[in-house]
A and B are shown apart, each in its own frame.
Chain A
């Protein structure tokens, strides 16, 4: 397929994309953020990166939990590595604990004697963005919430794309009764008040990650389908399709290896915007309380806490800044891709 060994057209588009600096750098930055997200356990975690205890080295991050007794403590449940670190420092016997930069996970309530959460940001407590109203670290919840939101959008995107590409191509390629039938289905489907119906569904079945993706995909597959239909319809009447057919290519081959690569612009341009809208939607649902069940870390849940606790502005500020940065970058990438694939030149007569 012409997609794999880059053809001159693709190289040209890549070059054009690189020349749009904002979009290019945003893409790199986003890729770095995503990579960091995948190894978030090494950066934001209550488990230590490394423990050196009586000459032996432990790496607890990805292993089974180490009971407190493993490090000479008097309890059987999981070691509290922050306390262990403090203890080792106090004992000064050559044992040491190396904690991640943010030594909290997204679920633990770090309650301090004499102060009620939410607590403001503090370098000393290593709560760099403060804690939320139940004493959980905001930075930890932001990072893990981001990971969940991106995974959610990615999965939603996959569902929408599989449905959209298959149905859309079939509609445009076969036309006729099939096309008409799905036109009506899409017409009816897009008249459903999207947000409200999802809220209703989410209020009657407490949604899990997967059900929420499926419900949203079931209500959101139409737009890409419609665009794929239009572009397949256009490509179908081109000569190369007739040529392929004259050579004896079957329907699947014509659509799969001839038409589809030529509609790649539609598919690719939609990716960043779909990701952005996935994140936005999940956050909105979580904000309203109809999203993923607690205690799942989520930006929407933090936003809702923040608006209920306006005396703790660090909650709202953290989430809003995070959302603005991520969504701006995604949109920059989207704009750059759009421009790379469809450079529209305007001419004036003045």
Chain B
């Protein structure tokens, strides 16, 4: 078992290198990088209304920069070396926890990312707590009250959340509750006058801003988790050991909570680690919709602005989180279910 997890952790490295090589090469080989953007901007500013500015290195005719300056720029961004060399340069720096400098903010990438992380973590943790806090009890009640009115009504709701992607829920909420009814603020993480508020006011302000995004985040994970809980509890209720317990005179209630529930939590554990990743990947859309200055919005903006050091930095962090999240899921499963043996028979799950 231990050797399995050691192997999993060692596998992070090749996977990580594979993913980053892929993306790194892409950002280098294709036109539209930071230098060309600068050239285009310079050319646009220089020759207003002049001939069309062509993208690509060959369209340097209207450029206001000399070849020498361009060489300097290339050296500055590390574009003067072959892709392989500059990749290993970059990888060496990453190994020493140096993610480079943002071409847009001209500050270290790590600083840029770090300043956004608390917001994303806040939403991630809040979503996690809400999801498990709501879905597990709801799943249990739905399983026990299977095919009753309560089950059917809540199923309709759950089904809705399952079919509709969370960003559509987000956009609908934004339009209805923020723009039309004006119950909630339109965007942002806190109000402009946040610093002047009292502690209570601050908390209220954050909640006010967080309500709609949290609904959207919840909509994404709500349905799957609830149904997983319900179905696995129902599977367990139909299992022989519960029948035995009840045949021996155990109260139904006790059989559910003492025996069936514990075993039903196992499938939930498989998705636990992935919630870490959800914090990152799920947030591109929702952070963009609600204009929340978090990790996802940063990733989106840096892509739009062709700020490749930041793009790569975000890729590094999100793929590491992804990898660790997956392993964490497996550890969780092994932890709650002593029958699971990874490594030997685990490959045919």
Query: Which A positions have Cβ atoms within 8 angstroms of B?
Result: 183, 187-188, 191-197, 199-201, 203-205, 230, 233, 276, 280, 283-284, 287-290, 303, 306-307, 310-311, 313, 316-317, 320, 323-324, 327-328, 330-331, 335, 346-350
Whether B15 contacts A331 by the Cβ 8 Å rule is no
Whether A191 contacts B326 by the Cβ 8 Å rule is yes
How far does the alpha carbon of A260 sit from the alpha carbon of B89 in the complex, in Å? 49
Query: Which B positions have Cβ atoms within 8 angstroms of A?
Result: 11, 14-15, 18-19, 22-23, 26-27, 30, 32, 146, 159-160, 162-165, 167-168, 171-172, 174-175, 178-180, 186, 234-235, 237-238, 242-243, 246-247, 252, 277, 280-281, 284-285, 288-289, 299-300, 303-304, 306, 311, 314-315, 318-319, 322-323, 326, 347-349
Whether B186 contacts A310 by the Cβ 8 Å rule is yes
Whether B30 contacts A204 by the Cβ 8 Å rule is yes
Chain A residues whose C-beta falls within 8 Å of the C-beta of B238 in the assembled complex: 346-349
A-B contact count (CB 8 A): 136
Whether B159 contacts A331 by the Cβ 8 Å rule is yes
B20 to chain A, nearest CB (A): 10
A75 to chain B, nearest CB (A): 29
6 sample A-B contacts, Cβ–Cβ < 8 Å, listed by A number: A191-B19, A192-B322, A199-B300, A230-B349, A316-B172, A328-B159
Whether A193 contacts B319 by the Cβ 8 Å rule is yes
* Partner among B27, B165, B237, B347 whose Cβ is within 8 Å of the Cβ of A204: B27
Contacts A199-B300, A200-B27 given; does A188 touch B163 at CB 8 Å: no
Whether B315 contacts A200 by the Cβ 8 Å rule is yes
Give the residue name and chain of the B residue nearest to A329 (CB).
B163
Whether B168 contacts A196 by the Cβ 8 Å rule is no
Whether B30 contacts A331 by the Cβ 8 Å rule is no
How far does the alpha carbon of A239 sit from the alpha carbon of B179 in the complex, in Å? 63
B315 to chain A, nearest CB (A): 7
How far does the alpha carbon of A187 sit from the alpha carbon of B15 in the complex, in Å? 8
How far does the alpha carbon of A316 sit from the alpha carbon of B179 in the complex, in Å? 11
Most B Cβ at <10 Å: residue of A188, A203, A284: A203
Contacts A191-B15, A193-B280, A195-B284 given; does A327 touch B164 at CB 8 Å: yes
Chain A residues whose C-beta falls within 8 Å of the C-beta of B234 in the assembled complex: 346
Chain B residues whose C-beta falls within 8 Å of the C-beta of A192 in the assembled complex: 19, 22, 319, 322
A219 to chain B, nearest CB (A): 10
* Partner among B162, B284, B299 whose Cβ is within 8 Å of the Cβ of A331: B162
* Partner among B18, B165, B318, B348 whose Cβ is within 8 Å of the Cβ of A188: B18
How far does the alpha carbon of A328 sit from the alpha carbon of B159 in the complex, in Å? 8
A140 to chain B, nearest CB (A): 21
B39 to chain A, nearest CB (A): 17
